[in-house]
Amino acid sequence: MSAPAEAAPPVEAEGLLSRALRLRQASVLTHRYVDLKLADLGGLFFLLVQAPLIGWLIGLAYDGKAESRTVDFILAIVAVWFGCFNACREVVKERLIFLRERRAGVSVRAYLASKVIVLAVFAALQCLVLLLLVARTVRMQGPLPLIYVGLFSTCLAATALGLLLSSVVRSQNSLIALVPIALIPQLIFSKVTLGTTSPLVDRIESGMIAAWGLEVLDELRKTSHDWTTILRAEGVLLGLTVGLLALAAVCLRLQDE
Protein backbone atom coordinates (compact mmCIF):
# COMPACT_ATOMS: atom_id res chain seq x y z
CA MET A 1 0.00 0.00 0.00
CA SER A 2 1.39 3.36 -0.94
CA ALA A 3 1.98 5.93 1.77
CA PRO A 4 -0.67 8.62 2.04
CA ALA A 5 0.20 11.80 0.24
CA GLU A 6 1.57 14.49 2.50
CA ALA A 7 -0.99 17.17 3.13
CA ALA A 8 -0.23 20.55 1.59
CA PRO A 9 0.54 23.30 4.12
CA PRO A 10 -2.45 25.47 4.78
CA VAL A 11 -2.52 28.80 2.98
CA GLU A 12 -2.67 31.69 5.36
CA ALA A 13 -6.01 33.40 4.98
CA GLU A 14 -5.98 37.07 4.13
CA GLY A 15 -7.65 39.16 6.79
CA LEU A 16 -10.78 41.20 6.22
CA LEU A 17 -8.94 44.52 6.48
CA SER A 18 -6.20 43.31 4.14
CA ARG A 19 -8.80 42.20 1.57
CA ALA A 20 -10.72 45.47 1.88
CA LEU A 21 -7.65 47.62 1.34
CA ARG A 22 -5.96 45.19 -1.08
CA LEU A 23 -2.81 45.41 1.06
CA ARG A 24 -0.95 42.61 -0.73
CA GLN A 25 -1.52 44.14 -4.15
CA ALA A 26 -0.67 47.59 -2.81
CA SER A 27 2.60 46.27 -1.37
CA VAL A 28 3.67 44.74 -4.69
CA LEU A 29 2.66 47.83 -6.65
CA THR A 30 4.44 50.11 -4.16
CA HIS A 31 7.71 48.17 -4.50
CA ARG A 32 7.43 48.35 -8.28
CA TYR A 33 6.69 52.09 -8.18
CA VAL A 34 9.73 52.70 -5.97
CA ASP A 35 11.92 50.74 -8.40
CA LEU A 36 10.61 52.81 -11.32
CA LYS A 37 11.31 56.05 -9.45
CA LEU A 38 14.84 54.97 -8.57
CA ALA A 39 15.48 53.90 -12.16
CA ASP A 40 14.56 57.38 -13.45
CA LEU A 41 17.55 59.22 -12.01
CA GLY A 42 16.96 62.36 -14.05
CA GLY A 43 13.36 62.71 -12.95
CA LEU A 44 14.29 61.85 -9.36
CA PHE A 45 17.00 64.53 -9.35
CA PHE A 46 14.64 67.26 -10.53
CA LEU A 47 12.01 66.09 -8.05
CA LEU A 48 14.43 66.31 -5.12
CA VAL A 49 16.10 69.57 -6.15
CA GLN A 50 12.83 71.54 -6.20
CA ALA A 51 12.50 71.99 -2.44
CA PRO A 52 16.05 73.20 -1.67
CA LEU A 53 16.05 75.54 -4.66
CA ILE A 54 12.67 77.12 -3.89
CA GLY A 55 13.41 77.21 -0.15
CA TRP A 56 16.66 79.03 -0.86
CA LEU A 57 14.88 81.52 -3.14
CA ILE A 58 12.20 82.28 -0.53
CA GLY A 59 14.88 82.69 2.13
CA LEU A 60 16.82 84.99 -0.16
CA ALA A 61 13.77 87.16 -0.90
CA TYR A 62 12.70 87.48 2.76
CA ASP A 63 16.14 87.33 4.40
CA GLY A 64 16.03 88.74 7.94
CA LYS A 65 12.30 89.42 7.86
CA ALA A 66 9.70 88.04 10.23
CA GLU A 67 7.16 85.51 9.04
CA SER A 68 4.14 87.28 7.60
CA ARG A 69 0.91 86.36 5.90
CA THR A 70 2.63 86.81 2.56
CA VAL A 71 5.32 84.29 3.51
CA ASP A 72 2.65 81.88 4.74
CA PHE A 73 0.74 82.25 1.49
CA ILE A 74 3.87 81.55 -0.57
CA LEU A 75 4.62 78.45 1.53
CA ALA A 76 1.05 77.18 1.11
CA ILE A 77 1.12 77.76 -2.65
CA VAL A 78 4.50 76.04 -2.97
CA ALA A 79 3.19 73.03 -1.01
CA VAL A 80 0.22 72.82 -3.38
CA TRP A 81 2.45 73.02 -6.43
CA PHE A 82 4.82 70.38 -5.04
CA GLY A 83 2.01 67.91 -4.43
CA CYS A 84 0.15 68.50 -7.68
CA PHE A 85 3.17 68.49 -9.96
CA ASN A 86 4.64 65.41 -8.27
CA ALA A 87 1.46 63.42 -8.93
CA CYS A 88 -0.14 64.83 -12.07
CA ARG A 89 1.74 62.58 -14.55
CA GLU A 90 1.89 59.42 -12.50
CA VAL A 91 -1.31 57.76 -13.78
CA VAL A 92 -1.71 59.03 -17.32
CA LYS A 93 1.86 58.13 -18.33
CA GLU A 94 1.17 54.45 -17.60
CA ARG A 95 -2.50 54.36 -18.58
CA LEU A 96 -2.14 51.45 -21.00
CA ILE A 97 -0.23 49.41 -18.40
CA PHE A 98 -2.91 50.17 -15.81
CA LEU A 99 -5.73 49.07 -18.13
CA ARG A 100 -3.92 45.83 -18.94
CA GLU A 101 -3.36 45.14 -15.24
CA ARG A 102 -7.00 45.92 -14.47
CA ARG A 103 -8.00 43.11 -16.80
CA ALA A 104 -5.67 40.87 -14.79
CA GLY A 105 -7.47 41.79 -11.57
CA VAL A 106 -5.44 44.69 -10.13
CA SER A 107 -7.55 46.76 -7.74
CA VAL A 108 -7.99 50.50 -8.24
CA ARG A 109 -7.66 50.96 -4.48
CA ALA A 110 -4.33 49.13 -4.41
CA TYR A 111 -3.09 51.05 -7.44
CA LEU A 112 -3.90 54.45 -5.96
CA ALA A 113 -2.59 53.41 -2.54
CA SER A 114 0.79 52.56 -4.06
CA LYS A 115 0.96 56.02 -5.63
CA VAL A 116 -0.11 57.83 -2.46
CA ILE A 117 2.39 55.99 -0.23
CA VAL A 118 5.41 56.82 -2.38
CA LEU A 119 4.34 60.35 -3.22
CA ALA A 120 3.58 61.06 0.45
CA VAL A 121 7.20 60.21 1.29
CA PHE A 122 8.40 62.67 -1.34
CA ALA A 123 5.96 65.30 -0.04
CA ALA A 124 7.22 64.80 3.52
CA LEU A 125 10.84 65.26 2.43
CA GLN A 126 10.08 68.28 0.26
CA CYS A 127 8.10 70.08 2.96
CA LEU A 128 10.81 69.38 5.53
CA VAL A 129 13.64 70.70 3.34
CA LEU A 130 11.55 73.71 2.27
CA LEU A 131 10.70 74.70 5.84
CA LEU A 132 14.22 74.20 7.20
CA LEU A 133 15.78 76.35 4.48
CA VAL A 134 13.20 79.12 4.85
CA ALA A 135 13.56 79.08 8.65
CA ARG A 136 17.32 79.64 8.33
CA THR A 137 16.79 83.22 7.19
CA VAL A 138 13.13 84.05 7.93
CA ARG A 139 12.11 84.52 11.56
CA MET A 140 9.27 82.00 11.80
CA GLN A 141 6.71 82.95 14.44
CA GLY A 142 4.94 79.62 14.92
CA PRO A 143 6.23 76.25 16.17
CA LEU A 144 8.16 74.60 13.34
CA PRO A 145 6.84 71.05 13.92
CA LEU A 146 3.23 72.26 13.63
CA ILE A 147 4.04 74.43 10.61
CA TYR A 148 5.55 71.33 9.03
CA VAL A 149 2.36 69.35 9.69
CA GLY A 150 0.34 72.13 8.06
CA LEU A 151 2.58 72.17 4.99
CA PHE A 152 2.57 68.38 4.69
CA SER A 153 -1.22 68.08 4.95
CA THR A 154 -1.54 70.81 2.29
CA CYS A 155 0.93 69.01 0.02
CA LEU A 156 -0.84 65.68 0.55
CA ALA A 157 -4.21 67.16 -0.47
CA ALA A 158 -2.55 68.61 -3.57
CA THR A 159 -1.06 65.18 -4.31
CA ALA A 160 -4.60 63.80 -4.35
CA LEU A 161 -5.57 66.63 -6.70
CA GLY A 162 -2.68 65.71 -9.02
CA LEU A 163 -3.72 62.06 -9.06
CA LEU A 164 -7.29 63.09 -9.88
CA LEU A 165 -6.10 65.22 -12.81
CA SER A 166 -3.93 62.35 -14.01
CA SER A 167 -6.92 59.97 -13.78
CA VAL A 168 -9.31 62.26 -15.66
CA VAL A 169 -7.24 62.75 -18.82
CA ARG A 170 -6.30 60.16 -21.42
CA SER A 171 -3.14 61.83 -22.73
CA GLN A 172 -0.31 63.96 -21.36
CA ASN A 173 -1.15 66.70 -23.87
CA SER A 174 -4.58 67.09 -22.28
CA LEU A 175 -2.94 67.17 -18.87
CA ILE A 176 -0.75 70.12 -19.83
CA ALA A 177 -3.88 72.17 -20.49
CA LEU A 178 -5.70 70.98 -17.36
CA VAL A 179 -3.06 71.54 -14.67
CA PRO A 180 -2.99 75.37 -14.93
CA ILE A 181 -6.79 75.43 -14.77
CA ALA A 182 -6.58 73.57 -11.47
CA LEU A 183 -3.67 75.52 -9.98
CA ILE A 184 -4.16 79.14 -11.01
CA PRO A 185 -7.40 79.51 -8.98
CA GLN A 186 -5.32 78.62 -5.91
CA LEU A 187 -3.54 81.94 -6.49
CA ILE A 188 -6.60 83.96 -7.43
CA PHE A 189 -9.10 82.91 -4.77
CA SER A 190 -7.30 83.95 -1.62
CA LYS A 191 -7.88 86.78 0.82
CA VAL A 192 -4.18 87.59 0.51
CA THR A 193 -4.62 88.56 -3.14
CA LEU A 194 -8.27 89.67 -3.05
CA GLY A 195 -8.70 91.43 0.29
CA THR A 196 -12.43 91.92 0.83
CA THR A 197 -14.43 89.23 -0.97
CA SER A 198 -18.04 88.54 -1.91
CA PRO A 199 -20.04 85.54 -0.59
CA LEU A 200 -19.63 83.76 -3.96
CA VAL A 201 -15.85 84.22 -3.90
CA ASP A 202 -15.79 83.01 -0.29
CA ARG A 203 -17.56 79.82 -1.34
CA ILE A 204 -15.08 79.26 -4.17
CA GLU A 205 -12.18 79.95 -1.82
CA SER A 206 -13.48 77.31 0.59
CA GLY A 207 -12.70 74.71 -2.07
CA MET A 208 -9.10 75.86 -2.53
CA ILE A 209 -6.42 73.69 -0.91
CA ALA A 210 -4.01 76.62 -0.56
CA ALA A 211 -6.62 78.66 1.33
CA TRP A 212 -6.94 76.00 4.04
CA GLY A 213 -3.18 75.54 4.23
CA LEU A 214 -2.83 79.29 4.66
CA GLU A 215 -5.44 79.25 7.43
CA VAL A 216 -3.37 76.72 9.39
CA LEU A 217 -0.14 78.70 8.96
CA ASP A 218 -1.89 82.01 9.75
CA GLU A 219 -3.27 80.66 13.01
CA LEU A 220 0.03 79.11 14.04
CA ARG A 221 1.75 82.47 13.54
CA LYS A 222 -0.41 84.05 16.25
CA THR A 223 0.79 84.20 19.84
CA SER A 224 -2.35 82.45 21.09
CA HIS A 225 -3.50 79.66 18.78
CA ASP A 226 -7.17 78.94 18.17
CA TRP A 227 -7.00 75.14 18.04
CA THR A 228 -10.58 74.91 16.81
CA THR A 229 -9.60 76.85 13.68
CA ILE A 230 -6.46 74.77 13.18
CA LEU A 231 -8.21 71.43 13.63
CA ARG A 232 -11.08 72.52 11.36
CA ALA A 233 -8.64 73.48 8.59
CA GLU A 234 -6.70 70.24 9.01
CA GLY A 235 -9.96 68.30 8.92
CA VAL A 236 -10.97 70.01 5.69
CA LEU A 237 -7.57 69.22 4.14
CA LEU A 238 -7.98 65.59 5.16
CA GLY A 239 -11.49 65.54 3.74
CA LEU A 240 -10.27 67.06 0.47
CA THR A 241 -7.54 64.42 0.27
CA VAL A 242 -9.98 61.56 0.75
CA GLY A 243 -12.60 63.10 -1.54
CA LEU A 244 -10.17 63.78 -4.38
CA LEU A 245 -8.76 60.25 -4.15
CA ALA A 246 -12.29 58.84 -4.23
CA LEU A 247 -13.01 60.84 -7.39
CA ALA A 248 -9.73 59.60 -8.90
CA ALA A 249 -10.82 56.02 -8.17
CA VAL A 250 -14.17 56.62 -9.89
CA CYS A 251 -12.43 58.08 -12.94
CA LEU A 252 -10.07 55.10 -13.17
CA ARG A 253 -12.97 52.64 -12.95
CA LEU A 254 -14.75 54.51 -15.76
CA GLN A 255 -11.67 53.98 -17.97
CA ASP A 256 -11.95 50.20 -17.76
CA GLU A 257 -12.20 48.68 -21.21
- Report if residue 212 sits inside a domain: yes
- Report if residue 14 sits inside a domain: no
Q: How many CA atoms within 13 Å lie on the side-chain side of 104?
A: 9
- Report if residue 189 sits inside a domain: yes
pLDDT at site 16 = 45
What pTM was computed for the model?
0.87
**What would the mean pLDDT of 65-83 be, rounded to a whole number?**
94
Is-contact 253 167, C-beta < 8 A? no
pLDDT for 38-60, tens place per residue? 888 888 888 889 999 999 999 99
Q: What b/e readout covers 81-101, taking b as 16+ CB neighbours within 10 angstroms?
A: bbbbbbbbbbbbebbeebeeb
pLDDT for 165-185, tens place per residue? 999 988 888 888 899 999 999
Average pLDDT score, the chain:
87
pLDDT for 194-220, tens place per residue? 877 788 888 888 899 999 999 999 999
Q: Coil, helix or strand for 66?
A: strand
- Report if residue 33 sits inside a domain: yes
- Report if residue 165 sits inside a domain: yes
Q: Which domain holds residue 182?
A: 22-254
Q: What distance in Å separates the CA atoms of residue 166 and residue 92, rounded to the nearest whole number?
A: 5
The most confident of 13-22, 96-105, 150-159, by mean pLDDT: 150-159
Residue 13 scores a pLDDT above 70: no
pLDDT for 100-126, tens place per residue? 888 888 888 999 999 999 999 999 999
pLDDT at site 21 = 47
Residue 1 scores a pLDDT above 50: no
Residue 12 scores a pLDDT above 50: no
- Report if residue 5 sits inside a domain: no
pLDDT at site 22 = 61
Is-contact 204 183, C-beta < 8 A? no
- Report if residue 228 sits inside a domain: yes
The total number of structural domains that make up the chain: 1
Q: What distance in Å separates the CA atoms of residue 206 and residue 190, rounded to the nearest whole number?
A: 9
- Report if residue 11 sits inside a domain: no
